[in-house]
């Protein structure tokens, strides 16, 4: 009887040990993984630029005279060739008359010299005129012809100057403020500035980028297709201009004062909403960056040396991989080095994953990240711990209470870390 009782006690002890071993081996923690593949992303730069006219022309008085009147309305749009100012033409008309009289006199002298030269040519074979008289007649004809050409040029110059008395717009654009009032003497020894005309459709946007950043972008061998070279314009009130700008100039000289390289873009401005001189924020698309990985920011960890991610490797064992992050974009890190196609990056449940430990990976989607804050708004029941997301912990989580030994006490802290 005693032997049977001992066997029963021994069987009960072995059963208790088996249950303890089962409790000491919890299931692998559940983590959300994202399988990454190389992709192409747009390389965007946010910069500050200043608008400038596409063309700007100074309207100056090209002949001396008194300014009679302004024809255009200040600040209005004018077309090429429109009359802007009128200068008193009296002196210019008199100069034209003088030039025309000198031309008429030169024409008469040329006619007389030509007639004498023709007569000398006819008499030369008959020996009724000396050779010297023939030479003199021909020379007089050539001199008269040269004087006539000079008189014609003087007349043409006087006509041009008279035309300059009517000041016209050299280009189409918006005419600026009048610089001189009527009655002012202009054009005396120097061309006097009367106003300016600026073409504001399209407009230039002048901005700069540091030489280091420019070299980094150029070293990426970016694909300029798929929107490369496009610039989005954000105005001071936060609104976005409805027309996209296009990069059209890149300087090749570094400014020694600022260490920057000058860039320029062209933007259509059909409604004249944009004006020269104002500052705008630019979102410049410098092209497509290929062969990079996009990883949610929550999955990228950092220590004192480098950034790294945790990957569910072969046999669902956690592997730490150092990575090189280029920049953050739309809530994700752009990773250029450290990952390979098909890596299962741990995004959720990162605190549960430890290198060389086995995990239970499940696919992760961005919708889960949006749902996690909503689920974490409720408080866990009293006496029940909450996980990192704020949701009540379950018995399947790694954060569940550790099993107790036969004495009813929890194992030491060092035993729960492995």
When mean pLDDT is compared across 32-46, 197-211, 292-306, the lowest value belongs to 32-46
Whole-model pTM above 0.85?
Answer: no
The whole-number average pLDDT for the span 355-382 is: 69
The whole-number average pLDDT for the span 303-328 is: 91
Q: Does residue 202 have a cis bond before it (omega within 30 degrees)?
A: yes
pLDDT band at 291 (very low <50, low <70, confident <90, very high): confident
DSSP characters for 74-92?
TT-EE-TT-EEEEE--HHH
- Return the exposure string of 232-250: e unless at least 16 CB atoms fall within 10 Å of the residue's CB, then b: bbeeeeeeebebbbebeee
pLDDT tens-place string over residues 29-75: 999 999 999 998 877 778 899 999 999 999 999 999 999 999 999 99
Q: Which of 19-28, 212-221, 358-367 has the highest mean pLDDT?
A: 358-367
Tokens coding 50 = 């200043």
Beta bridge partners of 53: 203
CA atoms within 13 A on the CB side of 180: 22
């Amino acid at each position: 009887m005693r032997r049977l009782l001992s066997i029963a006690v021994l069987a009960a002890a072995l059963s208790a040990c088996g249950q303890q071993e089962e409790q000491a081996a919890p299931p692998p923690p559940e983590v959300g993984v994202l399988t990454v593949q190389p992709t192409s992303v747009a390389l965007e730069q946010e910069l500050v630029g200043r608008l400038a006219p596409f063309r700007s022309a100074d309207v100056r008085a090209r002949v001396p005279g008194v300014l009679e009147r302004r024809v255009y309305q200040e600040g209005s749009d004018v077309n090429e060739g429109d009359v802007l100012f009128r200068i008193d033409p009296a002196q210019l008309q008199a100069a034209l008359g003088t030039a025309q009289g000198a031309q008429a006199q030169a024409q008469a002298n040329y006619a007389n010299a030509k007639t004498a030269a023709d007569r000398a040519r006819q008499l030369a074979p008959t020996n009724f005129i000396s050779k010297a008289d023939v030479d003199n007649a021909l020379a007089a004809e050539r001199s008269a012809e040269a004087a006539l050409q000079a008189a014609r040029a003087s007349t043409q110059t006087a006509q041009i100057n008279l035309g300059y008395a009517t000041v016209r717009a050299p280009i189409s654009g918006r005419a600026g403020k009048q610089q001189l009032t009527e009655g002012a003497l202009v054009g005396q020894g120097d061309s006097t500035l009367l106003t300016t005309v600026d073409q504001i459709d399209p407009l230039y946007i002048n901005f700069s980028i540091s030489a280091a950043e420019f070299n980094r972008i150029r070293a990426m061998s970016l694909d300029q297709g798929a929107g490369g070279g496009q610039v989005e314009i954000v105005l001071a009130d936060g609104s976005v201009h409805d027309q996209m700008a296009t990069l059209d100039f890149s300087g090749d000289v570094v400014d020694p004062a600022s260490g920057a390289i000058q860039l320029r873009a062209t933007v259509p401005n059909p409604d004249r909403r944009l004006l020269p001189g104002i500052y705008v924020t630019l979102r410049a698309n410098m092209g497509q960056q290929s062969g990079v990985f996009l990883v949610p920011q929550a999955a990228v960890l950092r220590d004192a040396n480098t950034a790294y991610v945790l990957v569910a490797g072969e046999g669902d064992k956690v592997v730490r991989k150092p990575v090189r992050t280029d920049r953050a974009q739309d809530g994700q890190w752009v990773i250029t080095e450290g990952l390979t196609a098909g890596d299962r990056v741990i995004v959720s449940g990162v605190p549960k994953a430890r290198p060389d430990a086995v995990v239970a990976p499940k696919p992760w989607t961005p919708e889960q990240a949006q749902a996690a804050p909503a689920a974490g708004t409720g408080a866990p029941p009293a006496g029940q711990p909450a996980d990192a997301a704020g949701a009540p912990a379950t018995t399947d989580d790694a954060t569940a209470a550790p099993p107790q030994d036969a004495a009813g006490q929890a194992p030491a802290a060092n035993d729960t870390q492995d």
